Structure 1
């Protein structure tokens, strides 16, 4: 199984001399799954304890809960006490923002920003998933939204309509826009679907959403191919690379992430982030106020 070649734009981006940390975080799209009872969680663990046990095995979460309902800063601070300082949340932008770009609610964006602020050092890369029907003709609405996005919070964009792409790269005007606004990309790899997989890098962070059927030999080879490429990007100066493992059955996700960890460690890659189990200090600080378009 091969990946699309890295285009000239990405090759040029990697030659800009980024001096990132070259860290790779691996995790899942959920932290609560009945399939993990007795493996990730002790057999008698309560749902309120699931995140604590999850964070002992995974270093990041593709946090999809914020897509449906934005948690309060108070709730976020409770979650932070369950994870170590190395753990990263990658929140998905609320659907009431991402699916309403033509007329988004600025107050809701402020609410989302307050949630991000509450994550503190545990905030990874937020991502905005455009609807599948959202084509390049609606680019101006995305530009208007980004003009209001609080710039202190890193953001990646997931493009899902084929009109945003030319081959395995985003269109040049889109790449220019992302780079100019310090926006990252989301890369989604789904077996049998190659119309929106791309190799565009525009910021020293990236999120890979890997859809698979692990532990098939095909999936193992796909993962090895991806990990080889991501290692190359990390060594070339990327700062943070996040891999969210999606599987047909959640029961396979821990095995998938363990495979990734072992493969990178066998290659003596020192940038793979492993969970550290430790107590958290109370970090309830004052909430920062935000203005849009900053």
Structure 2
């Protein structure tokens, strides 16, 4: 079965949609319904190693936390000389242990294709980290780039969202999907229709039928759309 979740979980406007009570209990309530989540706060401020260990101890068995790489690595440095950041990322991911999901590496939208820089970054990652690369610049959509990802066992991040290329490509055992909303003009807005979600369910079944593990995360958090859409997609996949 594919793993379906949301991008982040700390959203006050999800009260009444998924949450009740104090924010301190929200992660437990989330994990009672879903078995994966993207940690997005790590993009803005990388957590201490002890924080990752606390999540490991708190989350239930079988749950996976995907971790978004820090913007210092992806946006400030744009993968240049990544070793210092990789050391910090590795320590945190190591602490997650059995709750460790993929490492999401979202590149800057203005970062054009640079094969040498990406190859160096992927070569420097420990083999036990499962990277998923989200390319926001269209120059990266190229067969040679896909081939590089395949050689490193890195997942191409399949995207759905305004002005983002939706390329249905599997470059690793893991297929990583980010659903940024159906609005054609703005990212992170709107709710996917049942027809849209049925289409994605078919694509996920096709990947699973080819032997892939699929993770899909909804990033249209407004009005609780991500939660509703994740629930619907899971229902469609279980039908």
Output the TM-score relative to the length of structure 2. 0.89
- Secondary structure of 2:156's counterpart equals strand
Q: Which residue of 2 aligns with 1:156?
A: 132
Match of 1:120 in 2: 97
Q: Could you say if the C-alpha distance between residues 101 and 143 of structure 1 is closer, same or farther in structure 2, counting changes exceeding 3 Å?
A: farther
Where relative contact order (Cα < 8 A, 6+ residues apart) is larger, the structure is 1
| Partner in structure 1 of residue 4 of structure 2 | 26
Distance 1:261 1:223 in 2: 10
Distance 1:105 1:203 in 2: 22
**1:103-132 CA deviation, whole Å, 9 max, x = no partner?**
335222111101001111111111111111
How far off its partner does 1:54 sit?
1.0
Task: Name the CA distance, whole Å, in 1 between partners of 2:172 and 2:108.
Answer: 22
Aligned-partner Cα distance in 2 for 1:234–1:188 = 18
Q: Which residue of 2 aligns with 1:93?
A: 69
Residue equivalent to 2:185: none
Whether the aligned pair in 2 keeps the contact of 1:185 and 1:207 (CA below 8 Å) is yes
How many equivalent residue pairs?
Answer: 232
Q: 1:46 to 1:248 in 2, by over 3 A?
A: closer
Secondary structure of the equivalent of 2:175? strand
Q: 1:261 aligns with which of 202, 216, 234?
A: 234
Separation in structure 1 between the aligned mates of residue 226 and residue 46 of structure 2, nearest angstrom: 25
Matched, 1:132 2:109: yes
Partner in structure 2 of residue 235 of structure 1? 209
What residue number does 1:66 align with?
Answer: 42
Residue of structure 1 in register with 2:199 after alignment:
225
1:272 equivalent in structure 2 = none
Q: How does 1:1-294 map to 2 (within 5 A)?
A: 23-42=1-20, 45-99=21-75, 100-101=77-78, 103-136=80-113, 138-165=114-141, 171-191=142-162, 193=163, 196-212=165-181, 219-238=193-212, 240-247=213-220, 249-266=222-239
Alignment CA distance shift 1:93-1:64 (3 Å): same
Q: CA contact under 8 A between 2:18 and 2:29: conserved in structure 1?
A: yes
Q: Which has more radius of gyration?
A: 1
CA distance in 2, matches of 1:28, 1:34: 14
After superposition, the CA RMSD in angstroms is: 1.9
Look up the SS of the partner of 2:54 in the other structure: helix
What is the Cα deviation at residue 207 of structure 1?
1.2
Structure 2: tracts of 5 or more residues without a match: 183-188
- Write out per-residue CA displacement over residues 186-236 of structure 1, whole angstroms, 9 at most, x where no aligned residue: 011115x3x5211221101021111225986x6221111011111111122
Contact 2:204 2:214 in 1 (8 A): yes
User: Deviation string for 1:57-116 (max 9, x for gaps)?
Assistant: 221112111111221221112222332112111111111111214533522211110100
State the partner residue of 2:186: none
Larger helix share, 1 or 2: 2
